[in-house]
Amino acid sequence: MHIETLGRGPDLVLIHGWALHGGVFAPLAQRLAPHFRLHLVDLPGHGFSRGPADPLDLAAVASEIASRTPPAIWLGWSLGGLFALRAAAALPTVRGLVMVAATPRFVRAPDWPHAVEPEVFARFGDELAGDYAGTLDRFIALDTLGSEHGRSELKTLRALLHERGAPDPAALRDGLALLASSDLRRSLPGLRVPSLWLAGRRDRLVDPRGMAAAAARVPGARFVELAHAAHAPFLGHVDRVAAEIGAFADNIEPGPTVS
């Protein structure tokens, strides 16, 4: 698994969303690197981690990332939030959790109304086989739909999508299966690390009401809704996101740093 490390200061692990790679955080990394030592993960089958890889199993991938990074705050965006939340609930090396447009359950249920219909991820999975490129493009278009900077954000994501090579189809199917089937809500009341939940009010994939409901179950969690942001707030609203992360980290007891 490829993990790029840059910057100096407290350690921060960043995990990307479906079909992308750690390079998607470039604007955010530019602002955070003077203050944090960043560990930018390419999930198996994505970016520089393409090639024969193990399935995208939450526990296994989270454990591997933890074994290759120091104790750190973990940040997960979208699909990456499932890995970050799994790690925060199970691994002692996670010092804080930042969920960006991510939730413990991505699909709707009778007791979880603020989420997408289960058929959404199934449909994307069915379409991958017949129209691989078009399916990826339609999905990333949803990432930016509704944002006040949607056009520029979509241009950035399209440029990044294949910057490190096309993601592996098997990894994409695994990712969609995780989005469709994972339910980590039971872990929320027992989280013992500080957490920050950053939602976009205009997000069409992760309803901010679902994120608020999740944060309300976590002791001491902070929920922030960005009024004009959609599913990728670290692109069009990068300064605000960086400021929120910095303020959050300032309230976490300092650990060892590497210069």
Q: What angle do CA 4, 232, 72 make, to 5 degrees?
A: 40
Q: CA 117, CA 247: separation in Å to the nearest integer?
A: 35
Would you tell me how many other CB atoms lie within 10 Å of the CB of residue 205? Answer: 24
Q: What's the CA gap between 31 and 255, in Å, rounded?
A: 21
Core vs surface per residue 99-123: b (16+ CB within 10 A) or e: bbbbbbbbbbeeebebbbeeebbee
* 54 catalytic per annotation: no
List Cα–Cα distances, 125 to 79, 118, 183, 257, in angstroms.
Answer: 15, 12, 19, 42
| β pairing state of 222-226 and 3-7 | unpaired
Asked about 152 being catalytic, the answer comes back as: no
Q: Is 78 a catalytic residue?
A: yes
Task: Check 49, 78, 182, 195 and give the catalytic one.
Answer: 78
Beta carbons of 179 and 121 less than 8 angstroms apart:
yes
Residues with active-site annotation: 78, 203, 231
